[in-house]
Amino acid sequence: MLTLAVPALPARLDPVTDAGPGPGLLTATCTPLIGLAPDGQLVQGLARGWRFDADARALTLDLREGERFADGEPVDADAVAASLTRMVADRHSPRRAELAAVAAIEATGPFTVRLTLDRPYVPILAVLAGRAGMVTQDVGEDNDTPCAGPYRVEARRGEGMLELVRNGPPGDAGFARVRVVAVPDAALRLARVRAGAVDLAGPVEPADAAEAAREGRVRISAAADPGETVVLFNLARGARATGRVAREGGARAAFAASLDLPALAALAGHGYFAAIDAPATKATAGAPFELTVASQGADAALAAAIVRQASAAGIDVRLRVRDPARATLDVQNGDFEAALVRLPARLDPDMRLQPAFHCDGAANDGGYCERATDALIERARAVADPRARADLYAQIRMRLADRLPAVFLLRGAHLVAAGPRAAGLTAYPDGGWRLVPGTR
């Protein structure tokens, strides 16, 4: 039996209603339509293939035959269509917003499903690689595993333990049984792996992981986290968008040029975080400004380092420390000059950049609006070829680097600690768990 330690256990392993920060434990029991490789590439899941129409307004999914739900019922096109319909029909489902581009869902063959989209939207692939693509049955709340996936819940032991059993046939790859225990403290999760009481634990903190890796007592696996830490400027929202950093791109460029991003990454991530490459900027005179930052967690130390680096270049950055909830609310309300924020850890770049930097973005808290940037974002949504999309996102990044609505600082990592019995398991970019080595 494999023992897995996680921060907390959900009340029910149901992707329709789950509202956590990531898919977490759901990936052990619910296989999505589109899979994810450790390097972030999209691979086969319950769908063996997919194709867009020429205008990217429709997506056809070809399903794998022989897949089954935890109760043995087959996963066919009707079941997939019903699951996707349930995702968008349930008014309490967080998946409704993720599937907002889907206008119609149709089973066009026994194992073929067609999604008609209301606009060109290639990021739907990344959506279907997450919770929205996890195929469920409408079986009522008594079923703790309403999915098709490699494991099912056999029993709950109070609020702190789950026991999973393998769905595969005898002799199939993977552990026959998995015990999942809730250990809220990250340092304690790692300590239990080091003591041999737990085989696999995550997430673990970068500083603790670095120390454990030096000792060599456990294996630390790291997967790039798509989320990005940035200094966001308020360019057009209310009274605080009136200073020089809001009005003058040169003042923002001076601040950007003062930062040593590799040094910030080393401080924040102990070797696990990466600095975001940025084009060199032509710095003019710097301008003082106020940086809003949450009072808890690693952000406070990162913000202090930013202040020191800017000060060395003659730029006065004053910290405005708020409790985390108030800091978030201030940013959402436009009550900030600049703020240390994190763009969401979404697999597709559109899902990170469009909300924050499109004129009509739902999370455009800085008020940046430039129609040429919007046009590039909308073009990238409609291009299915990965190389062509990468080129468009490179152009978007160049425009953002030139206009500096934000200074992009760091990319983080999902860190997993593994003991000897879990040697074949690794971290994934979505923070979820794949408990069958070498599978989707």
Q: Say what the pLDDT of residue 107 is.
A: 97
The 10 Å CB-count burial string (b at 16+, else e) for 332-359 is: eebbbbbbbbbbebbbbbbbbbbbbbbe
* Cα–Cα nearest to 201, from 419, 423, 413, 5: 5
**SS3 annotation, 31-82:** CECEEECCCCCEEECCEEEEEECCCCCEEEEEECCCCECCCCCECCHHHHHH
- Is the predicted pLDDT of residue 365 greater than 80, yes or no? yes
How do the residues of the chain divide into helix, strand and coil, expressed in percent and rounded to 5? 30, 25, 45
Each residue's pLDDT tens digit, 144-170: 778 988 898 999 888 889 999 998 655
Q: Whole-number mean pLDDT of the chain?
A: 90
SS3 269: helix
pLDDT grade for 19, boundaries at 50, 70 and 90? confident
- Is the predicted pLDDT of residue 348 greater than 90, yes or no? yes
- Is the predicted pLDDT of residue 192 greater than 80, yes or no? yes
Secondary structure (DSSP) of 239-259: TTTTSHHHH-HHHHHHHHHH-
Query: How far apart, in whole angstroms, are the C-alpha atoms of residue 422 and residue 199?
Result: 6
Structural domain tally of the chain? 1
Cα 336-206-408 angle, rounded to 5 deg = 35
pLDDT grade for 280, boundaries at 50, 70 and 90? low
Q: Say what the pLDDT of residue 355 is.
A: 95
Each residue's pLDDT tens digit, 402-418: 999 999 999 988 999 99
Within a domain: residue 237? yes
Query: How far apart, in whole angstroms, are the C-alpha atoms of residue 401 and residue 310?
Result: 18
Within a domain: residue 365? yes
What integer is the mean pLDDT of 303-318?
95
Q: Say what the pLDDT of residue 217 is.
A: 81
Alpha helices in 130-204 (DSSP H): 186-194
- Is the predicted pLDDT of residue 231 greater than 80, yes or no? yes
8 A C-beta contact, residue 343 and residue 331: no
pLDDT grade for 351, boundaries at 50, 70 and 90? very high
What integer is the mean pLDDT of 276-283?
65
pLDDT grade for 270, boundaries at 50, 70 and 90? confident
Within a domain: residue 436? no
Within a domain: residue 345? yes
- Is the predicted pLDDT of residue 172 greater than 80, yes or no? no
What integer is the mean pLDDT of 331-351?
93
Q: Which amino acid is at 102?
A: V
Here the CATH number for the domain that contains residue 234 is 3.10.105.10
Q: Say what the pLDDT of residue 439 is.
A: 47
Within a domain: residue 142? no
332: containing domain: 225-413
Within a domain: residue 331? yes
Q: Say what the pLDDT of residue 33 is.
A: 97
What integer is the mean pLDDT of 192-196?
94
Q: Say what the pLDDT of residue 62 is.
A: 98
8 A C-beta contact, residue 164 and residue 2: no
pLDDT grade for 423, boundaries at 50, 70 and 90? confident
Within a domain: residue 380? yes
Within a domain: residue 243? yes
pLDDT grade for 440, boundaries at 50, 70 and 90? very low
Each residue's pLDDT tens digit, 120-149: 999 999 999 999 999 999 876 667 778 988
